Amino acid sequence: MPHTFDLLVVGDANPDVVLGPLDEPLAFGQREQLVSDGVLTLGGSAAITACGAARLGLSVALAGRIGDDGAGRFVRAALEDRGVDTRALRVDPGLSTPLTAVVARGEDRAILTAPGTLAAVAPGDVPERLLTTSRHVHAASYFLMPALAAGLPGLLRTARDHGATTSLDTNDDPSGRWDPSGIAAVLPATDILLPNAREALALAGQSDLERAAAHLAARGPLVVVKDGARGALAHDGRTPSRAGSVPVEPQDTVGAGDSFDAGYLAAVLAGEEPGRALRIAAACGALSTRARGGTAAQPTWAEALAALAHDGENH
């Protein structure tokens, strides 16, 4: 059966309002604080990853839920403008589209999310025809969608049974619990786990990043960890490997990890060997920080390779 898409992404899509930088603590008491920049842009880990992959030349579909509201229409239009197929993005008539406000301060940020449709996203929102005909299936924001999370092992197994590879970026757990039983169930059906360093430590219950990656890799997946300015770490259960970051002047790091995910998946699907895939992913994450919001500066495949060449890699 021919492939319908290179990549099916399952998860969250919402508008982001990104404000900053804030040079002092966030204040209450009806105080109004001024920042130099603000942007309304597409957000959600799944949506940003989907856009990054489409920018890199993959055919991409997104499955999830939005509300029947202006925010939902903004999300669908933004995805389609970036070449993402939204036919599997369901409209929920009873719930609102999620909304996120991001306040940046220095290299850190505060993230406030109204979940809207997220808790209602369920395995039935993912069309079986996409699971069984896509080359790769990626899931994002595991802890924000508990109904989907419960059925995710089955969805990923279905994809694998039909020849697809799979990946997961859990993102943060707002509850702070990092449910070990749920993660234990989904990792055996996951080919690539894509946490950032803090998430990897929390998921593994470890204090050393390399040990955390090894611990998670022992559950089945290749573990690829985003480590900020230090680049990235990959662990296959036997051997760790590292890639440095590409130097840029960052304007905003929102969505950089999701652009890294897109770069890694695009590189793997292009047949790149693991070390080079890691370098390409690090370049995609770094280049995405050149503008405000998660999607405005996502690189093309040619731009990512050019950044590696400029940074000294031989082709």
Size (the chain), residues: 315
pLDDT at 24 over 60: yes
Domain residue spans of the chain: 7-22+37-310
Residue linked to tokens 């946490």: 195
Tokens of 107: 């290299």
**Distance of alpha carbon 234 from alpha carbon 240, whole angstroms:** 6
> What are the angstrom distances between the C-alpha of 12 and each of 47, 54, 75?
6, 17, 10
Please tell us whether the domain made up of 7-22+37-310 is placed in CATH 1.10.10.60.
Answer: no
DSSP E strand stretches across the chain: 7-10, 14-20, 37-43, 60-67, 84-85, 89-92, 99-105, 108-114, 136-140, 165-169, 192-193, 222-226, 232-235, 240-243
Which amino acid, residue 277?
A: A
DSSP secondary structure letter of residue 6: S
Nearest CA-CA partner of 285 in 266, 312, 310, 313: 266
293-308 tens-digit pLDDT: 899 999 999 999 999 8
**Distance of alpha carbon 215 from alpha carbon 194, whole angstroms:** 14
Ramachandran area for residue 52 (φ above 0: left; ψ -120 to 50: alpha; else beta): alpha
Residue scoring higher pLDDT (313 or 177) = 177
Q: How many CA atoms lie within 13 A of 24 on its CB side?
A: 7
259-299 tens-digit pLDDT: 999 999 999 999 999 999 999 999 999 999 999 889 999 99
Tokens of 263: 């770069």
Give the catalytic positions in this structure: 258
- Lateral strand order in the sheet of 37-43: 37-43, 14-20, 99-105, 108-114
Beta bridge partners of 105: 108
111-126 tens-digit pLDDT: 999 999 999 999 999 9
- pLDDT, average across residues 66-77: 98
pTM: predicted TM-score of the whole model, two decimal places: 0.95
**Distance of alpha carbon 78 from alpha carbon 99, whole angstroms:** 15
pLDDT the model gives residue 108: 83
pLDDT at 313 over 80: no
**Distance of alpha carbon 289 from alpha carbon 248, whole angstroms:** 8
pLDDT the model gives residue 315: 39
Ramachandran area for residue 81 (φ above 0: left; ψ -120 to 50: alpha; else beta): alpha
